[in-house]
Amino acid sequence: MKAVVLVGGFGTRLRPLTVTTPKQMLSVVDRPMIEYVVSTLKRGGVSEVTLALGYKEDLFRASYPDAVCGGVSLSYAVEPEPLDTAGAVRFAADTVGIDEPFLVVNGDVLTDIDVRSLWDRHREIGAQATIALTRVQDPSRFGVVPTDAQGKVLGFVEKPSRDEAPTNWINAGIYVLEPEILGRIARGRRVSIEREVFPSVVAENGLWAVKSEAYWIDIGTPSTYVQAQLDLIDGVRGPAMTAVAAEARVDEDAEVERSVVMEGATVAVRAVIRDSIIMQSAVIEEDASVDGSVIGPGAHIGRGAKVTRMSIVGDRVSVGAGRLVDGSKIPSSD
């Protein structure tokens, strides 16, 4: 099985972290996000992955110089300009010469969805495209997908208001596509798979879906980027992962509660860290507190400073002693 993984977006919602690092290269507990995505694919039987790259593509190549990631061989398709989700799939398929059914996944989804059973169901139905669905409480920021009892997709409603959503089952960002679908995607311009391609396949009764109750989270926002990591250390997704890296230095009189402290980070005496992510080599000085927030790689939180309410402190940014950062991103990207 071959897969195209979409990793070329700007990741604007995760700024300022994504100003220096593309979203899928941001660490999630102990390794870059992309490695979790590739593991899910490998578990399902995928042996070749093409990364559909754009923004900061060089950082992916530099991280996987042997073109192997998580035991799977990688190839790269670098768009000359962002072509959006379907344009990127066409470009990647043209670049590596895909002419058989293949998987497509969004690179910012962490999930245990079984891609093999999605694949098998796709072949069994003979669909043009088959998408995995996951259930969420609030579907209003997703593509909502009503189906009939057999799983035939009846519509594709992008980001409906909460009251108008016909169902809570949403597009999980994982698809099996027949190669013929590629012919529907114009070359060299932005084309959205969710807004343009899927609605046209629905109109021909060719789009099918498979519902899954497996773990799923789209980690493209600050709160879900934090949540996904807390789920991993809480053991919500299998055995609990170690929250504090062996190479981190946490003073014995610091308090670290339900938080990730990545390698090389320092948490000084009497600092308090709660429900937060302290990234590589960040320094939290004495008496500082970090609550429900993300401290970027190499950032420095001065003595007695307070960072709270889903704030994000960017790469190597310093927060002065005693300062309060409350629900803000610094530097601000506006």
**Strand, helix or coil for residue 247:** coil
Min dist CB 82 to ligand GTP, Å, is 3
Q: Which of 9, 32, 222, 297 binds ligand GTP (CB under 6 A)?
A: 9
> CA-to-CA distance for 271 and 321, rounded, in angstroms?
13
The residue (of 194 and 231) whose beta carbon lies closer to ligand GTP is: 194
β-strand pairing of 312-313 with 329-330: parallel
**Strand, helix or coil for residue 283:** strand
The residue (of 106 and 259) whose beta carbon lies closer to ligand GTP is: 106
Q: Which of 1, 3, 7, 313 binds ligand GTP (CB under 6 A)?
A: 7
Contact mark string toward ligand GTP, 40..59, x via CB under 6 A: ------------x-x-----
Q: Which helix (H) or strand (E) holds 272?
A: strand 272-274
Say how many Å lie between the first and final Cα of the chain, rounded: 42
263 touches 243 (CB < 8 A) = no
The residue (of 187 and 258) whose beta carbon lies closer to ligand GTP is: 187
In this structure, what token pair is assigned to residue 304?
């007695």
**Alpha helices, DSSP H, located in 198-320:** 198-203, 222-234
Min dist CB 244 to ligand GTP, Å, is 29
> Is 12 a residue that touches ligand GTP (CB under 6 A)?
yes
Min dist CB 74 to ligand GTP, Å, is 14
Using alpha carbons, list the distances in angstroms from residue 54 to 3, 14, 61, 83, 326.
17, 17, 12, 9, 33
For the segment 104-133, give every residue that binds ligand GTP (CB under 6 A): 106-108
Candidates 63-71, 78-86, 226-234, 272-280; binding stretch for ligand GTP (CB under 6 A): 78-86
For the segment 169-228, give every residue that binds ligand GTP (CB under 6 A): 220
228 touches 294 (CB < 8 A) = no
Q: Which residues bind ligand GTP (CB under 6 A)?
A: 6-13, 23, 52, 54, 79, 82-85, 88, 106-108, 220
